[in-house]
Amino acid sequence: MDSKQSLDIFGKFLVKNLRDKGIRNAETLLSNKSKAPSNLKLQTEISQFNESQKKLIKEIVIKSIDIAIHDFLFSLQELADFENNIQISINSKNIVELSDGIHGESYSENGWNAKFSKYGAKE
């Protein structure tokens, strides 16, 4: 398995289990489809927004998730460059060492978001 395949295993995991789940949760709340009692008050408030406002909220959620992923990966990159005390390995390979900038792997037309996200590179 080459380094790109190992990076993609991690990227797909990150996109499916963090990015897409976060966006899907926002969509559920914005469309008033959550059954969780803890979400009822929030959904009541959200129901007062028009579609344009809901679209803006979704965009804010996506941008917030994407920047959080970027900053998390950037922090891993910094640790690898200095302390290297936190590592994530795929098939015994440190994923940060496999990339020339792990925090940029999500972006571009060939990035993780474009390849693996149900929501694509940009929403």
pLDDT, tens digit (0-9, with 9 covering 90-100), for 10-32: 999 999 999 999 999 999 999 99
User: What confidence score (pLDDT) does residue 53 get?
Assistant: 98
Domain boundaries, the chain: 3-116
Strands 89-90 and 93-94: antiparallel
Q: Could you give the C-alpha distances from 106 to 32, 44, 47, in angstroms and in order?
A: 30, 34, 32
Q: What is the pTM of this model?
A: 0.90
